[in-house]
Chain A
């Protein structure tokens, strides 16, 4: 089939407008599918990457709507196998004119860097933060996007909680691409004391508690012990790995994976129809040519191969444009500036290549019926046809 490649390529581009539109529809759809799947892939990658840190999340059995009493942190720390633990409490305050709140968490400044060693805070900045109760550390990406520097003031207006926080940047953390560099960490105590001063019922509670186990092998047993320790309390909890936490978090938003999968299937089916229609139109226009090919001795298998190859080339080109276009776009454009919280999202090579393979497969499948019909064109009828 290689020797027919120039012929295949020229046939693909013989109707440039149609090929362009077909290629573009494949490209745009593939762009969408690749982006959606990257969302899942990168999340999985990030969760996988955190495995080595032996972290467990302790959450109220009611989920994120419930709280974990702060007193649990000390009790958890006393359990054999727990190395370190920190409250991790979502504040959700409003920063200036931001429409969507970025990740603001009340943590224990002494232990959070032990629990999260992958989040790298320069030692002098860590000390400065630990020494300042109204201090905070921010991720390198959000600091860059908001223009924050050491010493910058960050006022957060309480939305969930009836308190406002006046924070000062004391440190900027960084880390590998698997870390979330768009968060702000402040002293849990600062929030808790403000709530206590108001006699707010949420005082003394954290959203979740994150602990570091001494070893990975201890984690299943630790989870059971923590669950049973607080089972009869007013606030029973459930300990889980970061992966399980991620899954339950996603489930809270609905069946995101299912949504992405079904959306992708719908896109693929629509693409199949578009590509098959293009090939069918091409076949109708070229019946005489196909008949000529057969008359001069081209076997059915070669004609089948020629048409299938054309469909594959259209799919491949659309796939390259869409999937690699998405990869390129996410490499060049910093989406965290446009949509906060998306700094972690990128298109992995595996997903981009899978997208190209998918588009090629779509091309192949869309070409089967038209190619089969082309291979079976009657020479006599075909040659008689005046287009």
Chain B
């Protein structure tokens, strides 16, 4: 990691996070420091319970660290109230989830427009921007389709279009291929790749799949709340064994 972190989109400075279960304190992240430069595409891997999702939640301001500081796009998240954090998220972040999380009562177009409802854009402007996002993910012709009329891969691409709609500086993807078949997973990874390459969007992707992780510019491996060095080939071999 570089010593010059001026261009870091995400900075975790000595961050620890633990959860209390009854009288027991369970550490999830331990004294973690991380810098992710603008335009990076980072895959975060690790076994279940290693702290991957917690890391993502902390970067998104959905959770607060027990100790340490998190700065995203120059903003110290600890300094923001819940209301200001919501506004900040709507302006800076895009989310892609394993379960897609599309609104079943809204069409693809309307789902993509959802984050734009929080902006002062007019209805026509929102529509136009949503169309652009759908065009980027190759689903302009499915704008009027409802989630139930789309395949899993298409749903995830709509979710990515929704994440892109407000032109975020940081895209957080939590197991984006976890619910997809191999072909759809490839399409989604291609899309994340091209967003990162063409638009310079910084992507942090949590995944269990080493194949997906290989598509990132770099990979971080979390174990028991600490980043460790691992061999991705070894991980892939293990993953294949589990998959079989």
Interface, chain A (partner B; CB < 8 A): 3-4, 6-7, 10-11, 14, 288-289, 292-300, 379-380, 383, 386
| Interface pair B86/A298, CB less than 8 Å apart | yes
A7 contact set on B, CB distance < 8 A: 103, 105-106, 110
| Interface pair A379/B106, CB less than 8 Å apart | no
A300 contact set on B, CB distance < 8 A: 82-83, 86
| Interface pair B115/A297, CB less than 8 Å apart | yes
- In whole angstroms, what is the CA distance A292 to B117 when docked? 14
Q: Check: B184 CB closer than 8 A to any chain A CB.
A: no
Apart from A296-B115, A380-B63, what are 8 other A-B pairs with CB-CB below 8 Å?
A4-B117, A292-B97, A295-B89, A296-B114, A297-B86, A297-B87, A300-B82, A383-B97
| Interface pair B101/A299, CB less than 8 Å apart | no
| Interface pair A10/B106, CB less than 8 Å apart | yes
- In whole angstroms, what is the CA distance A292 to B93 when docked? 13
Q: A3-B117, A296-B115, A380-B62 are known contacts. Are A14 and B86 too (CB-CB below 8 A)?
A: no
| Interface pair B105/A14, CB less than 8 Å apart | yes
| Interface pair A296/B82, CB less than 8 Å apart | no
Interface, chain B (partner A; CB < 8 A): 57, 60, 62-63, 82-83, 86-91, 93, 95, 97, 99, 101, 103-106, 110, 114-115, 117-118, 123, 162
Looking at the assembled complex, report how far the CB atom of A245 sits from the nearest CB atom of chain B, in whole angstroms: 58
Looking at the assembled complex, report how far the CB atom of B161 sits from the nearest CB atom of chain A, in whole angstroms: 13
Across the interface, name the chain B residue whose C-beta is closest to A9: B105
B103 contact set on A, CB distance < 8 A: 7, 289, 292
> Could you say which of B62, B110, B115, B162 contacts A379, with CB atoms under 8 Å apart?
B62
Looking at the assembled complex, report how far the CB atom of B17 sits from the nearest CB atom of chain A, in whole angstroms: 12
Q: A295-B95, A298-B118, A380-B62 are known contacts. Are A288 and B86 too (CB-CB below 8 A)?
A: no
A11 contact set on B, CB distance < 8 A: 105
B117 contact set on A, CB distance < 8 A: 3-4
A294 contact set on B, CB distance < 8 A: 86
Looking at the assembled complex, report how far the CB atom of A299 sits from the nearest CB atom of chain B, in whole angstroms: 5
Most central of B91, B105, B106 by chain A CB within 10 Å: B105
Between A and B, 14 residue pairs with Cβ closer than 8 Å are A4-B117, A7-B106, A10-B105, A14-B105, A288-B99, A289-B103, A292-B103, A295-B89, A295-B95, A297-B91, A297-B93, A298-B118, A299-B86, A379-B62
Across the interface, name the chain A residue whose C-beta is closest to B54: A380
Across the interface, name the chain A residue whose C-beta is closest to B91: A297
| Interface pair A296/B89, CB less than 8 Å apart | yes
Across the interface, name the chain B residue whose C-beta is closest to A11: B105
Q: A3-B117, A288-B101 are known contacts. Are A296 and B62 too (CB-CB below 8 A)?
A: no
- In whole angstroms, what is the CA distance A386 to B118 when docked? 27
Across the interface, name the chain A residue whose C-beta is closest to B88: A297
Looking at the assembled complex, report how far the CB atom of A2 sits from the nearest CB atom of chain B, in whole angstroms: 11
- In whole angstroms, what is the CA distance A339 to B222 when docked? 79
Most central of A4, A6, A297, A380 by chain B CB within 10 Å: A297
- In whole angstroms, what is the CA distance A295 to B99 when docked? 14
| Interface pair B123/A296, CB less than 8 Å apart | no
> Could you say which of B57, B105, B106, B118 contacts A380, with CB atoms under 8 Å apart?
B57
B99 contact set on A, CB distance < 8 A: 288, 386
Across the interface, name the chain A residue whose C-beta is closest to B172: A295
A292 contact set on B, CB distance < 8 A: 95, 97, 101, 103
Looking at the assembled complex, report how far the CB atom of B149 sits from the nearest CB atom of chain A, in whole angstroms: 15
A298 contact set on B, CB distance < 8 A: 86, 90, 118
Across the interface, name the chain B residue whose C-beta is closest to A13: B105
B93 contact set on A, CB distance < 8 A: 296-297
A379 contact set on B, CB distance < 8 A: 57, 62
- In whole angstroms, what is the CA distance A295 to B86 when docked? 7
Across the interface, name the chain A residue whose C-beta is closest to B119: A297
| Interface pair A295/B106, CB less than 8 Å apart | no
- In whole angstroms, what is the CA distance A379 to B117 when docked? 19
Across the interface, name the chain A residue whose C-beta is closest to B63: A380
| Interface pair A297/B63, CB less than 8 Å apart | no
Q: A3-B123, A10-B106, A383-B97 are known contacts. Are A295 and B60 too (CB-CB below 8 A)?
A: yes
- In whole angstroms, what is the CA distance A14 to B103 when docked? 11
B115 contact set on A, CB distance < 8 A: 296-297
| Interface pair A296/B95, CB less than 8 Å apart | yes
- In whole angstroms, what is the CA distance A300 to B87 when docked? 11
A293 contact set on B, CB distance < 8 A: 114
Looking at the assembled complex, report how far the CB atom of B216 sits from the nearest CB atom of chain A, in whole angstroms: 22
Looking at the assembled complex, report how far the CB atom of A210 sits from the nearest CB atom of chain B, in whole angstroms: 64
| Interface pair A295/B105, CB less than 8 Å apart | no
| Interface pair A297/B83, CB less than 8 Å apart | no
A386 contact set on B, CB distance < 8 A: 99
Looking at the assembled complex, report how far the CB atom of B98 sits from the nearest CB atom of chain A, in whole angstroms: 9
- In whole angstroms, what is the CA distance A4 to B126 when docked? 13
- In whole angstroms, what is the CA distance A131 to B110 when docked? 81
Closest 3 A-B residue pairs measured CB to CB?
A: A297-B90, A10-B105, A297-B89
B106 contact set on A, CB distance < 8 A: 7, 10
- In whole angstroms, what is the CA distance A289 to B104 when docked? 10
Looking at the assembled complex, report how far the CB atom of A387 sits from the nearest CB atom of chain B, in whole angstroms: 10
- In whole angstroms, what is the CA distance A4 to B118 when docked? 11
Most central of B95, B101, B110, B118 by chain A CB within 10 Å: B101
B110 contact set on A, CB distance < 8 A: 6-7
A6 contact set on B, CB distance < 8 A: 110
Most central of A4, A6, A288, A380 by chain B CB within 10 Å: A380
> Could you say which of B62, B83, B118 contacts A295, with CB atoms under 8 Å apart?
B62
Q: A3-B123, A288-B99 are known contacts. Are A14 and B104 too (CB-CB below 8 A)?
A: yes
Looking at the assembled complex, report how far the CB atom of B168 sits from the nearest CB atom of chain A, in whole angstroms: 10
Looking at the assembled complex, report how far the CB atom of B126 sits from the nearest CB atom of chain A, in whole angstroms: 9
